[in-house]
Every structure is written in structure tokens, then in C-alpha cells.
Amino acid sequence: MERSHFLAKLIGPVCIAGGLGMLFNTTTYRAMFERALHDHMLIYLSGVIALTIGLAIVILHNDWKWQWPLIITVFGWLAVVGGVLRMIAPQVVESYGLSLLGTPNFFIIDGGVAVLLGVLLSYFGYLDPPQLSHARRSRSRRRR
Amino acid sequence: MQQSLTIARLVGPVLAAIGVGMLANETAYRQMAAQFLSDYPFIYFSGILALVAGLYIINVHNIWTRDWRSLITAIGWIITCIGVFRILAPQFTVYVAGSIVAMSGLFIGAGIVLLTLGGFITFKGYVA
């Protein structure tokens, strides 16, 4: 649980910042993503980083219990799969990414989901530390 | 204390290397900065890396004592702020950094500051 909180403290604010950027800076983000998708070297580099971060998460945190840390495990596996795909076939990522960018309201939906996830993770990471969770759990057990 | 030493051993040499690079290779650094600032994706990726690194430092090391360890915490906060700024508004990063890079003595001054800071932190991490 300690590890879940620490990872939530790192991942949560990054999701919030990225999501807010997508929501409020759409024009720049569209230009940036189009430019990045045409550059295979950049896709490859982002794949190396995503795979490394994803592997670190799933090695340290492979928790599949039906609780909030599941978000982190899923995030880690998505980073692994996304990283492998980017490294093996950047051209597939390019065509798939460009078709995604073409869908209407892509940045609003994606940004909204990222902000929601980020707020949830930041809440659990920063405002619900392990000692507080343990205290709440033992209090509710005593009540029962 | 162990946490401070570990971070100092990582951060110190990186800052010192960047400082030496700026002093010894000013022309290449100026070209590199211009190329970096013309590409939003680079700014965005560097923002994500900076934010993760900064959050890591301030989460494991948020110490404000009256010694060198506060420097590590301050560096963590600065990297976090830079990361947020780059992710939220890459175009403002281009605007701000573009005017800073245009200054003539920037790389010499920044190189001296980074080399001094990195050297001091490296000394504290490895020797003292």
C-alpha cells in the first residue's frame, strides 16, 4: 500500500498537468501531437521511456485487487504495451494516432479523463496517506 | 541523510556535466537550444521527465534545514515548476526561453553557476 501511495503521488500530478494542457491549450497541443506523430525517432524515444517506466511500475506494483491501486497497475501495463508498440512499429502508431487526432472532441474527452484520473490518484496519494487509511479501516472494523 | 546523499550523487554530476558542456561548447549548446525551442514535442517530453523527477525528489526529500540539503529540495521544487510550465504551455516556454537564450553571455554565466552548484553538491554527496 505504501508503494501505491508513492506511485500515485508521482503519476497523479503528471496526469493533471497533461489533462489541463489538453483542455485549455488545444491548438498548441494539436500542432504538437501532429508534429510528434510525423517524427518516428520521437515516437521510438517516447516508447523507450514508456516501456522503462511501465516495466518499473508493473515489477514494483502488480496489484490486481479491486481497489484504487488497480488504476496504477493498469496504467503500468498500458505503458508497457504502448512502449512495445511504439518501439516495434512507429508507423502503425503514426497512422493510428493521426486517426485518433481526427476524431471530434478528442482533446476534451482525453483531457477530461486524464484530469479525473489525476485528481483521483493525487487524492489517494497526498490526502489519504497509508497511516490514515489504516486508522480509518481499524475504526470501521471496531464499529462493526 | 542517506536519501540526501543518494540524490546528491545523482544530481550533482549531472549539473556539473551540463555546466562544463555550456562553458566548453557554447556554440553547439546555442544551436541545440534553438532547435529544442523550435519543437513543441521535445519541450513537452522534457516537461514530463522534469515533472516526474521533480515530484520524486520533493516526495522523498522535502527537507528545509539550514544546510546544503535544502539545495536538493529547492532543486526538486524548481524542476517540478519547470515541468508543469512546459506541459501546460509549451508556447510560453518558447517565448520565455527564446528571450533568455538570445542574451549574449547566458551560456557562460549559466555554465559557471551550474558547474559551481554541481561541483558543490557532488562534493557533499561523494566526499564530505
Instruction: Evaluate whether residue A117 is within a structural domain.
Output: yes
Residue A8 belongs to what H/E stretch?
helix A2-24
Q: Do B55 and A45 touch (CB under 8 A)?
A: no
Judge whether B44 is closer than 8 Å to chain A, CB to CB: yes
CA A9, CA A72: separation in Å to the nearest integer?
11
Which among A10, A32, A53 has the least Cβ separation from residue B44?
A: A32
Which are the contacts of A109, defined by CB distance < 8 A and separation ≥ 6? none
CB contact at 8 A, B107 and B97: no
Instruction: Evaluate whether residue A53 is within a structural domain.
Output: yes
CA B27, CA B44: separation in Å to the nearest integer?
24
Instruction: Evaluate whether residue A144 is within a structural domain.
Output: no
CB contact at 8 A, B68 and B117: no
Identify the domain containing residue A65 by its residue range.
7-136
Instruction: Evaluate whether residue A143 is within a structural domain.
Output: no
- In this prediction the pTM is 0.86
Which among B40, B83, B84 has the least Cβ separation from residue A35?
A: B40
Instruction: Evaluate whether residue A82 is within a structural domain.
Output: yes
Q: Do B84 and A28 touch (CB under 8 A)?
A: no
**Number of domains forming the structure of chain A:** 1
Instruction: Evaluate whether residue A86 is within a structural domain.
Output: yes
pLDDT, tens only, A35-80? 999 998 899 999 999 999 999 999 998 889 999 999 999 999 999 9
Task: List the single range of A39-43, A88-92, B61-65, B101-105 with lowest mean pLDDT.
Answer: B101-105
pLDDT, tens only, B15-65? 999 999 999 988 899 989 988 898 899 999 999 999 999 999 999 998 999
Instruction: Evaluate whether residue A123 is within a structural domain.
Output: yes
Q: Do B41 and A36 touch (CB under 8 A)?
A: yes
Which among B42, B55, B91 has the least Cβ separation from residue A13?
A: B55
Residue B36 belongs to what H/E stretch?
helix B26-37
